[in-house]
Structure 1
């Protein structure tokens, strides 16, 4: 039986771009079965603009009633779909003409969460192959571990509506609503795959929705939510390492202070961190000892963060604290990140 595909487009003040998005749907080599455009209380004629396409596309236009942001728009739109699969399209992006065909083929080969490969467009000139450093992910191995470290699933993904509903769908977030959803889909058993060709056209512009948010702050919210619902020591450890890198010294707030032992001082010294410069050390139940080490004179000097595991004691992460508190890891030697062929050291660096 052929699976049915529905597209959801959350739109707010999108008149400038919406014709191109919907036009790309009208020219697909394999048409979709349903399209829902969700007007998130626009100040312009987004809804009326979308309705002009109802004679050539299987399209419905709905409104949110109150401004909710992308998470609420997508949630409302997906609730209107009756299709087996949900495919996402941002209102300022486009599909290449064979996008739906390529995505369906990828899903047939490996049902689950299908992430498209991106092209980029500035609004002028030809589409470009995206310079996308995360394109090689997922690697063979633990996809959830990799996804906790970095979001390698593109916004225009496709996934089963039934599984989406089982995990509770989109939920309120300031930013990173997609990553929050992908983590729960993969944790529930969805496997990530990607088609061979790049077919999702991502518009590059300075005033995009994502430019309104500090990504580290938003990703901190997503990781914290994941931790609140996760019982697995392995994934809690990986999520905490990813969280530590985003918030740096703030990670130790609320943790119990612990002294650094002579054995741990030796480990720090071997890593080039002076034990006499230890500013604070705190114990975390999954990570071990999180140590803040000064690298300069005075309170305003530089700082490194090191994570010392136990049984046996060893250095599992070390790196300088950069602007905004983020930790740029120089070293990662953690067994939970090297438990299969998908070593994640390079992701966290």
Structure 2
């Protein structure tokens, strides 16, 4: 039995990005792993050919192909169920892992008795060029246990976690987005120790199509729903029902393009308004901020952001 099962889903990455991700995993200094790759776009024959090539060359690579596009959580569960290792490691098919990533994560998890560990990351653009780095992540389980109910600073594709706690929580649920945040909250509810390291063991690729205006609103609504559910103590004894979540999304008009676009514009204006305040331009700031705060969803977003940022600032200092 290998030490680690790597969970990777492939959808619309470029051949070069996929090869870079695969090469970075197969070059790990910790070599005792299985790499379970799920192709979630069966019509992508070019990507399928690349994956088959790697599987022929390295017995640690298992390629699974979904019959149709089924989404990230479904694909991750399929990779999880097809593996046997006691440790699980996430990896996205367009990111690059540093060679010592797995070795360092195993050491840190054992030293700190963690169930889940996120690393930090450097950012790269679509061409692989440096594009900044991730903000500081509070590292201690007690800090994250208080911060995660307000929002997540964790880097999902860098995560390593113990299979037993993930299986006990029921794995990833088939949510329309924020499936990782849903899992962190359920793991917290069952007492899992979630930690982080600020070692930058990943190169996280920023892609131009990673967040559309519709996605932004959906992520906010799903995250808000999960936070309310967690606060009410409904995990894991009474899991989120997808029908209830759908009702919540429908009630907030998430499928209405006009509502989504207005939310996105006004959230961006809030950020621009804060910059105007820092630049001592109060009238510009008011013009940008006030219309957004007249919108109920944007007010909720601003309140959530304020609470999260205050908590984050506190734990970042400690």
Per the normalisation by structure 2, the TM-score is: 0.70
- For the residue of structure 1 that corresponds to 2:67, the secondary structure is coil
- Distance apart, 1:186 and its partner CA: 2.0
- Aligned partners of 1:75 and 1:170 also within 8 Å: yes
Residue 96 in structure 1 maps to residue 95 in structure 2 = no
Aligned to 1:27: 27
What aligned pairs does 1:55-70 form with structure 2 within 5 A after superposition?
A: 55-56=57-58, 58-70=60-72
Q: Which has the larger radius of gyration?
A: 1
- For the residue of structure 2 that corresponds to 1:36, the secondary structure is strand
- For the residue of structure 2 that corresponds to 1:115, the secondary structure is strand
What aligned pairs does 1:194-273 form with structure 2 within 5 A after superposition?
A: 194-208=196-210, 210-211=211-212, 213-225=214-226, 227-228=228-229, 231-232=232-233
What aligned pairs does 1:305-316 form with structure 2 within 5 A after superposition?
A: none
Structure 1 pair 212–178 and aligned structure 2 pair: CA distance change class (3 A): farther
Stretches (4+) displaced over 6 A: 330-333
- Distance apart, 1:29 and its partner CA: 1.3
Per the normalisation by structure 1, the TM-score is: 0.64
Residue 171 in structure 1 maps to residue 173 in structure 2 = yes
Higher strand content, 1 or 2: 1
Q: Which has the higher contact order (CA 8 A, sep 6+)?
A: 2
- Distance apart, 1:221 and its partner CA: 1.8
- For the residue of structure 2 that corresponds to 1:8, the secondary structure is strand
- 2:141 & 2:152 partners in 1: Cα distance? 16
Tell me the C-alpha RMSD between the 2 structures: 3.4
- Aligned partners of 2:185 and 2:230 also within 8 Å: no
Residue 105 in structure 1 maps to residue 116 in structure 2 = no
- Aligned partners of 1:144 and 1:187 also within 8 Å: no
Q: Which moved more, 1:116-125 or 1:196-205?
A: 116-125
Aligned to 2:241: none
Aligned to 1:325: 298
- Aligned partners of 1:40 and 1:73 also within 8 Å: yes
Residue 185 in structure 1 maps to residue 194 in structure 2 = no
Give structure 1 stretches of 5+ with no counterpart.
234-246, 251-295, 305-319
- Distance apart, 1:219 and its partner CA: 3.5
- Aligned partners of 1:32 and 1:100 also within 8 Å: no
- Distance apart, 1:97 and its partner CA: 1.2
- For the residue of structure 2 that corresponds to 1:53, the secondary structure is helix
Give structure 2 stretches of 5+ with no counterpart.
235-248, 253-285
- Aligned partners of 2:3 and 2:32 also within 8 Å: yes
Structure 1 pair 76–213 and aligned structure 2 pair: CA distance change class (3 A): farther
Structure 1 pair 140–115 and aligned structure 2 pair: CA distance change class (3 A): closer
What aligned pairs does 1:108-127 form with structure 2 within 5 A after superposition?
A: 108-110=110-112, 111-124=114-127, 127=130
- Aligned partners of 2:169 and 2:186 also within 8 Å: yes
Aligned to 1:9: 8
- Aligned partners of 2:121 and 2:204 also within 8 Å: yes
Structure 1 pair 145–65 and aligned structure 2 pair: CA distance change class (3 A): same
- 1:169 & 1:120 partners in 2: Cα distance? 28
- Aligned partners of 1:12 and 1:39 also within 8 Å: yes
Structure 1 pair 98–167 and aligned structure 2 pair: CA distance change class (3 A): same
Higher helix content, 1 or 2: 2
Structure 1 pair 344–22 and aligned structure 2 pair: CA distance change class (3 A): same
